[in-house]
Amino acid sequence: MEENEYLSKNKTNKLKIWQISTGILAILLIAAVITSGFRFGTDESITGNVVADSTPEQTPSQEITKTDKPNVELFIMSYCPYGTQIEKGIIPVIKALGNNIDFEIKFVNYAMHPSVGEVEENLREYCIQKDYKEKYLTYLGKFLEDNNYEDALNAAGLSETDLKDCEEETDKEFDITKNLEDESSWYNGRFPPFMIHNVENQKYGIRGSPTLVINGEQVNSGRDATSLLNTICGTFTTAPSECDTDMSSFGTPAPGFGFETQGGSATAAGCVV
């Protein structure tokens, strides 16, 4: 009886040790996944491609150099639902601040949504901003309503012919169509390079969409108009009166297209590989 009791206790102790070891291994595995910053999911309704719901691995500094006229660069992919989310939030801010800041939409150096025309839309928006800057926010606002670039061009008083020369020159300079058609050049075999703003991507360490850069430094901000206004206005040497503009009526835009949706995640999620 004593020997049987000893064997039973020994088995129990071994089982407990195995359970504890398994638990520790599971904790270490979860920690490794969290640390890596790559928690993948899918957004089939918008992209059918991989969307990472994560914060960037590099934590941007919030000690941003202040200037008299902040330089604001927003890096996005035109079909990233979180890129469109922050664009909806920043449009009223840019309109309110006007010439008090230098603002430009720029593009991440790869496209995650080529099957829905992201490469073509990135190029289209680049040329509108380059040649018809005063019409860009009108175009962008309409495009974000319902994902219809033809209606957006009409709203901005533009035609595809107006953009043809710029698109052809830019395509040739940055091998846009060539990279789109050459799948051997795609990142991870899935994402074509989009190199128009590659120099800035490399300079700032851009990993995904959206990424906000102010005065040359990555900045964390909520994606609603109030948060974005406060973030940008915090980088003025002396904030202008426009920084007192009430943005509360714009709410918090949800990811994706459409201005009627509200209450989306204010931070964190993005499109990144």
The model's pLDDT over 117-133, given as tens digits with 9 standing for 90+, comes to: 999 999 999 999 999 99
Q: What is the CATH number of domain 70-272?
A: 3.40.30.10
Which pair of structure tokens corresponds to residue 74? 């927003």
**Whole-structure pTM value:** 0.78
- Residue 271's nearest CA partner among 225, 207, 203 is 207
The pLDDT tens digits for 73-116 are: 999 999 999 999 999 999 999 999 999 999 999 999 999 999 99
DSSP 236: B
Answer yes or no: are the C-beta atoms of 250 and 92 closer than 8 Å: yes
The pLDDT tens digits for 211-224 are: 999 999 999 999 99
Residue 207 has pLDDT above 70, yes or no: yes
* Least confident segment among 47-51, 140-144, 168-172: 47-51
> At 48, is the pLDDT very low, low, confident or very high (cuts 50, 70, 90)?
very low
The predicted structure's pLDDT at residue 199? 98
| DSSP notation for 10-33 | HHHHHHHHHHHHHHHHHHHHHHHH
What percentage of the chain has pLDDT greater than the value 90? 71
Three-state secondary structure call for residue 205: coil
Residues near 238 by Cβ (< 8 Å), separated by ≥ 6?
68
The predicted structure's pLDDT at residue 64? 84
DSSP element (H, E) containing 219 = strand 217-219
The predicted structure's pLDDT at residue 3? 44
Mean pLDDT in residue range 196-209? 98
Which pair of structure tokens corresponds to residue 186? 């795609």
Answer yes or no: are the C-beta atoms of 213 and 75 closer than 8 Å: yes
- Residue 56's nearest CA partner among 260, 187, 203, 220 is 220
